[in-house]
Structures are given as structure tokens and as C-alpha cells.
Structure 1
Amino acid sequence: MNIDLLAAPEQSFVRRLGGTQEAWIALAIVALGIAVSLVSPKFATSGNLLNVLQNACFIGIMALGMTPVIVSGGIDISVGSILGLCGITLGILLVAGWPLPIAIPAVLALGALCGTFNGAIIAYLKLPPFVVTLATLSMGRSLALVVSQNTVFYDFGPWSAALLAIGGGKTLGLPNVIYALAAGILVLHFLLTMTRWGRYVFAVGGNEDAARLCGIPVELVKVSTYAFSGLMAAVTAVFLVGWLGAVTNAIGTGYELQVIAATVIGGASLVGGFGTAIGAAIGAVLVEVIRNSLLIAGVNPFWQGFFVGSFILGAVLLERIRSSRR
């Protein structure tokens, strides 16, 4: 019984990886890119494509964190607030004279702690993930206002140059955040497919009651997925603040919707049990391509949410069709 339960989610993952949704989304990106290029050749320029990829990486890193949460059957709409709180905290610490090599680990720990707080309430108090993370979304924004006193931080002291180099710098001609996303994909792919933790995450999302009967520590698994989500939001905060060169308490506002959209479009099932690292990254690229395409084509940017929502509905419908055939 134990072997079957733990093997089934991974086998489903392998079938999906070689199979379909990620490939269909990649084709959609190419098709959309070609269509927009015909309308406006500016889209296909190297500078714009690099800009699209760089912007997608911020959502992509957070989507990597969201993937285990959704795979395990949960959802986290507080990631934008966690990013904002971590970004503000990074600015405060650097202005206070903390060295960057100490401030960054402190901010990463804060993000993981925020995620752990979400997970603990959800797992041990048995409260709905949507309600809990909706509450902590509001709490996080409020804390960011309190600790920052509505101040804009744009001078990070002697470590300003180093922070800007991390978030806005390039290595071998590519923005550093692209390497961060690539590393995140490899790490999450390894965790989900090659570790006991990954098998547990799939098992909990596939059938929580059966997982508990098999001796899987369901509560700890849930807490760990939210902690991972908070950690990845903090990682994004470091790169985003370095890229922007400033931070306000509004940073990350609305990101949670884009992150969830990227994760679901990339193939993660909202009922749990399915999801891949590469799918989350591809979904993030599609979300950014939609946004950039609308701007390049001169379409009212207010249509962005409509098109992203349409792709979400399409992704969920595709998953429903695939599930009915299994």
C-alpha cells in the first residue's frame, strides 16, 4: 500500500513531463510571439525578448515556490505581501548598516518564517488555505506599512552597488535573475522527482487521507510547502529590489494573481497531485508575453487580466479533459 501510494504521483508526473500541457503552453508562447511580431516587429528584437524573459523570471521564481503548495492541494495568495515585507525589510536592514551577506540570509529566513506561519495555521488548525493566506496577505501589507512608515528606500548605503549588481547586473550577457530561475527549476525538479519529500508532496495532494494512513507526516509536509513558497518570495524580493534600485511598501502588489496564473497555466492542478517545475516557469513566460504583447501591439493594458484569465480557464479545461481520459 505504501509503495503504490508513493509511486503513483511520481508516475503521473513523469507522464505529464513527457506529455503535454507544458508543450502546449510553449507552442502557445511561440504562436503568440509570431502573431505579435507580424503586428509589431519591435516584439522580436533581442532587447525586448531579453526584457520579457527577465520580467518573467520574477514571477517564475515565485511560481516555483507556489508549485509544491498547489501540488499538495493548497494555495497561497499571500506571496505578494511576503515579497513586499521582505523587500522593505531588506531596505531597512541595509540602511541600518547591516552587511549585505548578513541582510540577505535574514530576509530569506523572514520569508520562510512567513510561509511557515501560513502552513502551521492551515495544517494544524485545519483552516482553509484561501482564507488563511487572504488574512496574511492583509497582515503582510499592514506590517510593511508599519515597519517602513510609508518610506521609500532608494539608498542602501555602502552595499548599494552590490545589491544593484545582484538584481540588475548581468553575467555573460544575461541578467542574473535568469540564472536564479534556472537554478530554481533544477532544484525544484530534483526535490519533486528524486526525494522522499517530493513523493510525499504528490501523495498528500493526490489523497490526503490515504497519505496519512500510510504514515506520511501530512501536517509537516504542508508546512514545508508553504515555507518553501515564502522562501522563494523572499528570493524574488532580493532580485527585484536590486533590479528596481528602490523599494516601497507597495512592491509586489498584485503579484499573487500572476504567480497563481503562471503555476496553473503551467500545468499544476488546483485539486492537487500534479505540477512541474518547468511548467511553472513556462507559465510565467506566457503571462509576461501576454503583458508585453498587449503593450507592443498598442492594446489597452486593461485587457491583460482578461487574456490571462482566458488562458487559466483554458488550462483548467485542458486538465479536466486529460483527467477524464486517464
Structure 2
Amino acid sequence: MSQQDVSDMNVDLLKRHDRSLLRRLMLTQEMWIAIAIVVLGLAVSMISGKFATSGNLMNVLQNACFIGLMALGMTPVLISGGIDISVGSILGLSGVTLGVLLNAGAPLPLGIAGTLAVGLVFGGLNGAVITLAKLPPFIVTLATLSIGRSLALVVSDNQVFYEFGTATESILALGGGYTLGVPNVVYALVAFVIVLHCLLTMTRWGRYIFAIGGNESAARLAGISVDAIKISAYAFSGLMAAISAIFLVGWLGAVTNAIGTGYELQTIASTVIGGASLTGGFGTALGAAIGSILIEVIRNALLIAGVNPFWQGTFVGGFILAAVLLERIRSLRR
């Protein structure tokens, strides 16, 4: 075989690899969601020039990040075969905790530490009750949704916090500030997408999460500490809700006990639309982030198009059904 033949063969192999890579990429849910975002954005831009402005696009991205951070926390929970509908309440309780601590004069690092601790502990308790009491995740987190919202009322004494003591400027800059023209929360979302991707694909913890979601009985027989892994997944979900609360409080510049109300549906929707399976075993960090962006693009597009905001839930629900149907079709093909 001549050197020219070898060179031609290498070129042919590279072309086949590129085609195979493109084919695999086009089959991913993340790619289709990204295409949907672009198509929807172009369609809305044709209706109104307000959508494609830099200010509006940054606003869309910033709003999506608060849900996106929570969706990242929801991803391991769904992959493991669970669900957490208390994340909105955890965000609310965490946000109120931050407001109370800072308003009392606590320095920002202490306020953030307390906020993260609340989210981590509350999420961990969800996982502990689910695994130790052998109760359905939906029932447990439905109960803690109510408990968390009630505790937010108790902790805040039904007050609204506008002042954050010596940390006022710092928290406002953290949550509502920009770096190089990009909202700070966007950098946080990108960083946590990378972190979660590495955790899910490069660590034993990530492999165990997928194994549990794929077949919990087989995972137990393989010696995996299923209960401990599940508790850690719910604790991670609570932690991400608390992180989102920190940025959201800084962006809003105020805290009420109602903060985060309704976010659980948007969080679950973002994760499912991004490719996570409600039956467990599938999900990606990137998918959760892209799903949250699509949800916010839909919301923003409806507002710009002059559609009654009350229809937002209908459109989000429709996308959830479409995503679940697509996942079911893909699972049958597998």
C-alpha cells in the first residue's frame, strides 16, 4: 500500500468519524432543545425587534440561571429515580435565612454559610426520610414543600427585608452585578454545569447515581450504598436551591417569605425538557441548563408577543408532555 493510499484512508476515516460525531450530536436532546431556542428566538424576533436586543437577551439569560441552578440540583435526584418538589420552598427558606442573618448584622460570608447549611440540611433530611422510612419521594417532598414555606414565614416573622446591614452592597453586587458585561449568575451557572458534568461522568458517585436510577435492586446487589447515595443527591438538590437563593436575593434586592413560590414546576420542567427521565437513569448537566433557558425564552416570548401571562403554565406543561413523549419514544427505540 502506497503512502498516498494510507493518506486517503486516513482522510476517509476522519470524515466518517466527523459524520458519526455529528449524527450522535443530532440525536441528543440538548441539541434539539438548542435548535428549538434558536428557532423560537428567530420567530419572536420577526414579530418584534424587542427580543433580540442585547438588554433583553441578557435579561432572559439571567432569569434562566436562577432556575438553571436549581435544575442542576434536580438532575441527580431525577437520574436516581426520585423527585423533589420542595426545591422552591427550600429556596424560599434559604433566602429568608440569608435576609435575617444579614439584616441582623452578620457579615456576608457568615450569611452565605448559614444559607448553604439550611439548603444542605433540608435537602439531606428529604433524602433521609425517603430512604429510611421507605416513603415515596413525591409524598415526602410534597410535605416538606409545605413545611419549608411555613418555616420561612416563622423565620421571617412575615417581614420583608430590604436592608442587609454592612453586606448590602456586596450581596447586591454578587446577585445583580455584571463582570465583563455578563451577569455574575451566568458565570455561576456555567461553573456548576462543569462541576456537575464532571461529578456525573468522572466519579464513582456519578456512576452510582446512574446505576441506582437504571436498576436500584441490581445496584444494591452490587454493593452500592443506595441509601447514602440517594441522601447525597437530595442534599445536593437542597444545596443548589440555596445557591440560587443567594443570587436571587442579590438580584431582587429584597427578601419575602414568598420568594421561590412556583419554582419547583419550572425546575422539574427544565430538567425533564433537557433530557432527564422521570423514571430515572438518564439526565445531563448541560441538558438541565439548556432546558431552563428554553423555559425562560418561552416566558419572555409570550410577554413580547402580547400573550396573556396566565397562558405560560399551559405552554410549559405542553413542553413537559412533549419532552416526556420524546423520551418514551427514545426508550422504546433503545
- Give 1:118-267 correspondences, 5 Å limit: 118-267=126-275
2:112–2:246 contact (8 Å) kept in structure 1: yes
Find the aligned partners of 1:307 and 1:220 in 2 and give their Cα distance.
37
2:175–2:185 contact (8 Å) kept in structure 1: yes
| Residue-pair matches, total | 312
Map residues 104-119 of structure 1 onto 2, 5 A cutoff.
104-119=112-127
Q: TM-score, normalised by structure 2?
A: 0.92
Q: Which of these residues, 73, 97, 101, is aligned with residue 89 of structure 1?
A: 97
C-alpha displacement at 1:17, in angstroms?
Answer: 7.0
Cα 1:16–1:83 shift into 2, 3 Å: farther
Q: What is the identity, as a one-letter code, of the residue corresponding to 1:245?
A: G
Distance 1:316 1:16 in 2: 20
Q: Specify the SS of the correspondent of 2:217.
A: helix
Q: What residue is the counterpart of 1:306 in the other structure?
A: 314
5+ residue gaps, structure 2, are 1-22
Pick one of 70, 75, 92 that aligns with 1:67. 75
Gaps of 5+ in 1: 1-14
**Structure 1 residue runs of 4 or more that deviate by more than 3 Å after TM superposition:** 15-19
Q: Computing the radius of gyration over CA atoms, which structure comes out larger, 1 or 2?
A: 2
Counterpart residue type for residue 148 of structure 1: S
* Pairwise CA distance, 1:18: 7.2
Selected match of 1:279 from 282, 287, 290: 287
- Provide the C-alpha distance between the structure 1 equivalents of 2:314 and 2:100, rounded to a whole number of angstroms: 37
1:30 aligns with 2:38: yes
Q: Per-residue CA shift, 1:231-285, capped at 9, x if unaligned?
A: 0000000000000000000000000000000000000000000000000000000
Call closer, same or farther: CA 1:189–1:259 in 2, change over 3 Å: same
SS of the residue 2:160 aligns to? coil
Identity among equivalent positions (%) equals: 75
Aligned partner of residue 248 in structure 1, secondary structure: coil
In structure 2, the residue matched to 1:76 is 84
* Number of the residue aligned with 2:64: 56
1:173-205 Cα deviation digits (max 9, x unpaired): 101000000001000000000000000000000
Q: Which residue of 2 aligns with 1:290?
A: 298
1:19 shift after superposition: 3.3
TM-score after normalising by structure 1: 0.94
The DSSP-based 3-state class of the residue aligned with 1:216 is coil
Whole-angstrom distance in 2 between the partners of 1:61 and 1:72: 18
Which residue is equivalent to 1:316? 324
